[in-house]
Structure 1
Amino acid sequence: MKNVLPIVICLILFSCKEQKNTITKEPEMAQEVDSPKKWLTYEGADENAKHIVLISGDEEYRSEEALPQLAKILSKHHGFKCTVLFAQEEDKPGIVNANYNKNIPGLEALTSADMMVVFTRFRALPDDQMKYIDDYLKSGKPVMGLRTATHGFNFPEDSDSQYAHYSFNYKGDKTEWDGGFGRLVLGETWINHHGHHKHQSTKGMVAIGANTTGITNGISDGDVWGASDVYGVTLPLPGDSQPIILGQVMNRKGEYDESDVFYGMRPTDDEIATTNKDGKSLGDELMPVTW
């Protein structure tokens, strides 16, 4: 019995030591949890790959879903490095909230970007984030705007932002910025819907002279067909803007079915629209396409 007692005491002490080590390790393990991922990065073909930054942030057209898919295609099939940014609340990093218009982290990626793709709607970002966009534009590098980018920014009238002139409806002292970012950079700001929104579709028709640019190689009238209407513009377009694809509004047959992604784009939907929802005549007028 005397020989067994020291062994029992040693076992008890060893057990207590193990328990103590377990307790002290738990806080260390908690500190090793990865921080939330605020943006996505798709690597390029090599270290010299051109860098494209894609900025999402709209409440209607699901840019936070479309741009990662576009980035995957650009990375996997064309070798570009791509960074995709998202709208999110400051206290909920990594959780996409397209309805929150005051924060898009990661815009510093524009400092190494070779191209910017913007798909935002009515954003009012803080000055430290807007500066990255402003600096990028001043670099003269290429920009592509999708759909709502024509009205991608909207600062309140009483805003003290240094970048309030980016607003889609800007009419201030900086006269060259009339119409904001959309008008000055992309060629047009928000004007109206050309066609009945969600009730008519739009065929893409190659503009006269556009076939000499190389952009429409392999594309014929009707090859581009969107389930939505297009945005109206003020004609003539400003500066040296050149339309490439024009939108021809088409009537849909049958009742609107939101779950049918091809609704309005079937061979039977072949009737050119003459009016939109307010009775405004459309005829066979064509609009430069901003889907």
Structure 2
Amino acid sequence: MKQFVLSLLAASCLLAADHVVYEPVGETKGKHIVLLSGDEEYRSEEAMPMLGKILSQRHGFKCTVLFSLGADGTIDPTAGGSLSHPEALDSADAIVMLLRFRHWDEATSKKFATAVNRGVPIIALRTSTHAFNGYAKDSPFASWNWNNPEGGWGRKVLGETWVSHWGKHKVEATKGVIESANANHPILRGVSDLFGNSDVYEAAPPVDSVILARGQILQGMTADTPPAAYTKKTKAGTEQDVNTPMMPVAWVRVVKNDAGGENKVFCTTMGAASDLATEGTRRLVVNATFWGLGLEVPEKAEVTPIGDYQPTMYGFKGNKTGVKPDDHALAK
């Protein structure tokens, strides 16, 4: 029996040297989700395979996970110019991304831009607000840089770029508080616990955004610690209590793309691999994928990880080394 199960798992996952594909199990949705990992800090290389497995094995989506790779073919989050197998974007029906300061070559950037202009829904996590940096001034993608005067790709598409750590980094965790006015939004279906040990970002999404959750800054790094109570200045120069009002940490909007079409966008400034150890945070992302694709969101989506999920703590050092994409294969 054990061998039979392993054979089924192996058959459900197609491997390639530089990316991993999870074939759907059960009732197939007929949709291809491309998950983009590539950040130096929040372990997207661990989070995206976990989400891809859930979306494929629990919910019937075909999922392809792409990585930043070093010259030796192993996953290297610091390789900001790398995105493996960008051809997958040609058939993407939705994009789930956790990127930070990427600067891909022109061919790869064009494939991403083409997918966006095709109108695919975008589910963006954490540092995706500042996904791009380092494009030369004469690059056709220079406007994507996060520090562009207009806020780069993040502000244009997601509704925000990098502003600041509103909570104290690695000291104060985040409790997600559902926005009562929008509690019936389908993305919030079955979401009862939102917690992440990453901190709250300062964020001011535009008025066309629908706020789904706000981030209560906690005094410590665990969910049972009380709310923080102190004041600080916003980027706009106003002094306010850090939890009054609380910063938005999850929102949706519909934005017009450069081709004249529209993209459904979900953005959360939560979403570190360690944040996704919480069931409610995983469900938020899975629900957003259904919503983006125009599919009925389950009453309580099954989001139990496939296999053991013990994410590495975030930070600019300490990521796992020597890992290849096919180490994330289901059979392993």
Which TM-score band (shorter chain)?
0.7 to 0.9
- Alpha-carbon distance in 2 for matches of 1:186, 1:288: 13
1:36–1:225 CA distance, 2 compared to 1 (3 A)? closer
Q: Which moved more, 1:58-67 or 1:270-279?
A: 270-279
- Alpha-carbon distance in 2 for matches of 1:184, 1:146: 15
Q: Which residue of 1 aligns with 2:227?
A: 271
Q: Which residue of 1 aligns with 2:219?
A: 251
The yes-or-no answer on 1:78 pairing with 2:59 is: yes
Q: Which residue of 2 aligns with 1:211?
A: 183
Cα deviation, residue 51, structure 1: 0.5
TM-score (norm 2): 0.65
Q: Which residue of 2 aligns with 1:284?
A: 244
Equivalent pair of 1:196/1:277 in contact (CA under 8 Å): no
Partner-residue secondary structure (3-state), 1:40: strand
Cα deviation, residue 155, structure 1: 2.2
Q: Which residue of 1 aligns with 2:33?
A: 52
Partner-residue secondary structure (3-state), 1:135: helix
- Alpha-carbon distance in 2 for matches of 1:160, 1:96: 29
Cα deviation, residue 273, structure 1: 3.3
Instruction: Name structure 2 gaps, 5 residues minimum.
Output: 1-14, 250-268, 271-332
Cα deviation, residue 280, structure 1: 7.5
Amino acid at match of 1:147: R
- Alpha-carbon distance in 2 for matches of 1:266, 1:188: 26
Q: Which protein, 1 or 2, shows the higher relative CO under an 8 Å CA cutoff with sep ≥ 6?
A: 2
1:140–1:76 CA distance, 2 compared to 1 (3 A)? same
Partner-residue secondary structure (3-state), 1:288: strand
The yes-or-no answer on 1:117 pairing with 2:96 is: yes
1:64–1:79 CA distance, 2 compared to 1 (3 A)? same
1:277–1:60 CA distance, 2 compared to 1 (3 A)? farther
- Alpha-carbon distance in 1 for matches of 2:207, 2:247: 17
Equivalent pair of 1:58/1:121 in contact (CA under 8 Å): yes
Equivalent pair of 1:44/1:50 in contact (CA under 8 Å): no
- Alpha-carbon distance in 1 for matches of 2:29, 2:203: 39
- Alpha-carbon distance in 2 for matches of 1:273, 1:188: 25
Amino acid at match of 1:265: T
Partner-residue secondary structure (3-state), 2:53: helix
Q: Which residue of 2 aligns with 1:240?
A: 208
- Alpha-carbon distance in 1 for matches of 2:212, 2:145: 26
Whose radius of gyration is greater, 1 or 2?
1
Q: Which residue of 2 aligns with 1:255?
A: none
The yes-or-no answer on 1:182 pairing with 2:167 is: no
Cα deviation, residue 121, structure 1: 0.3
1:209–1:283 CA distance, 2 compared to 1 (3 A)? closer
Q: Which residue of 2 aligns with 1:12?
A: none
Q: Which residue of 2 aligns with 1:161?
A: 139
Deviation per CA, 1:244-273, whole angstroms, max 9, x where unpaired? 010010102xxxxxxxxxxx2243x12333
Instruction: Give the total of aligned pairs.
Output: 232
TM-score (norm 1): 0.74
Once the two structures are superposed, the pairs formed by residues 188-203 of structure 1 within 5 Å of their partners are 188-203=160-175
Superposed CA RMSD in Å reads: 2.3
Instruction: Name structure 1 gaps, 5 residues minimum.
Output: 1-34, 172-177, 253-263
